[in-house]
Amino acid sequence: MCGRYSIYEPMDHYLKELAPQQLIINGYDLWPIERYNVAPTTRVEIIRSTAEGLSVDKVKWGWSPFWAKGEGKRPAPINARVETVMTGKFFKQLWPNGRALAPANGWFEWVKDPDDPKKKQPYFIRLKEEGPMFFAALAEVHQGLEQDPQDGFVIITADSDQGMVDIHDRRPVVLSPEHAREWVDPETTPERAAEIAKECCRQTEDFTWFEVSKDVGNVRNQGPYLVEASAND
């Protein structure tokens, strides 16, 4: 998965699909989010469970454990591989109690031009029915008036299977609303959560993808045109 995605509907749009009858413990804007070009290190809405109900929090995309902060100048990871996230040392602090969802409308991937590897064409990948997506995520969030610098989240990724591998060899783990509810349910066991992440990603045939404007390559660019089909620039 490349490091850009899109979330532009009002938060109600995602919550009604995810958990129409579940209590939301905090307020959120009713206006469209309109984040057509979400980039790493920016704060964006995620959904997670608390003892009182679901919480919507704006959290930085990217996370490192406290002990890794001084290891060189590499940016904090934005993704975590489903094959190792539950057993490796790096994300041990987040698994399994940091389970969260990153709602989205789609994500971007870049494909190299076969005639000129320096040129890349961006694609937008969304569900065929254009419904809301729920990326399986892990997050660290501290409740309070100020954002804790340690707070952040990562999106879990898996191997792209046949068909989508032409676009990229990794993709986010996209869950159906039913599996997404189960993923963030605190009653779900770690064993079942692992099964969901590894086996319940929506199938390739549920998605469509198409070329979009190369303007998405600039993090400052926003707007609906970034997720509309476009001929090569």
- Catalytic positions are 2, 109
Q: Can you tell me which residue has the tokens 């990871």? A: 77
SS3 83: coil
Q: Where are the alpha helices (DSSP H) in 110-189?
A: 177-184
Which tokens go with 162?
A: 């046949």
Residue 208's Cβ-side half-sphere holds a number of Cα atoms within 13 Å equal to 10
For tokens 């997670």, the residue is: 48
| 229 and 44 Cβ atoms separated by less than 8 Å | no
User: Chain-centre distance of CA 175, in angstroms?
Assistant: 11
CA distance 57 to 171: 24
Structure tokens at 99: 């389970």
User: Which residues sit opposite 154 in a β-bridge?
Assistant: 138
